[in-house]
Structure 1
Amino acid sequence: MSVKVDLNPALPIFALADCNSFYASCERVFRPDLASTPIVVLSNNDGCVIARSYDAKPFVKMGAPYFQIKDTLRRHGIMAFSSNYALYGQMSERVMTLIESMVCDSEVYSIDKNKLHTVDAQT
Structure 2
Amino acid sequence: MAKQLEPAFALVDCNSFYASCARVFRPDLARVPIVVLSNNDGCVNPRSYDAKPFVKMGEPYFQIRHKLKHHGIVPFSSNCALYGDMSGRVITLIESMVSAVEAYSIDEVFADLTGISNLSALGRRIRSQVLVFPSE
With structure 2 as the length reference, what TM-score do the two structures score?
A: 0.81
Give SS of 1:57's match. coil
Stretch moving more, 73-82 or 11-20: 11-20
Give SS of 1:15's match. strand
Give SS of 1:102's match. coil
Give SS of 2:96's match. helix
In structure 2, distance between residues paired with 1:78 and 1:119: 42
Aligned-residue CA RMSD (Å): 1.5
In structure 2, distance between residues paired with 1:21 and 1:40: 10
Q: Which runs of 5+ in 1 are unaligned?
A: 1-8
In structure 1, distance between residues paired with 2:53 and 2:18: 17
Please state if 1:113 is matched with 2:85. no
Q: Which has the higher strand share?
A: 1
Superposed displacement of residue 13, structure 1: 1.0
* 1:1-123 equivalent positions in 2, closer than 5 A: 10-122=5-117
Q: Which has the higher helix share?
A: 2
In structure 2, distance between residues paired with 1:74 and 1:31: 18
> Counterpart of 1:5?
none
In structure 2, distance between residues paired with 1:29 and 1:98: 16
In structure 1, distance between residues paired with 2:50 and 2:86: 21
Listed one character per residue, the Cα deviations across residues 50-79 of structure 1 (whole Å, up to 9, x for unaligned) are 110111000000111111111110100101
In structure 2, distance between residues paired with 1:63 and 1:96: 28
In structure 2, distance between residues paired with 1:21 and 1:118: 24
Read off the aligned partner of 1:52 and give its amino acid letter: R
Which of structure 1's runs of 4+ aligned residues deviate more than 3 A?
none
In structure 2, distance between residues paired with 1:85 and 1:121: 34
Give SS of 1:95's match. helix
Give SS of 1:74's match. helix
Task: Give the fraction of aligned pairs with identical amino acids, expressed as a percent.
Answer: 68
Superposed displacement of residue 121, structure 1: 4.7
Q: In the comparison of the two structures, how many residue pairs are matched?
A: 116
Read off the aligned partner of 1:98 and give its amino acid letter: L
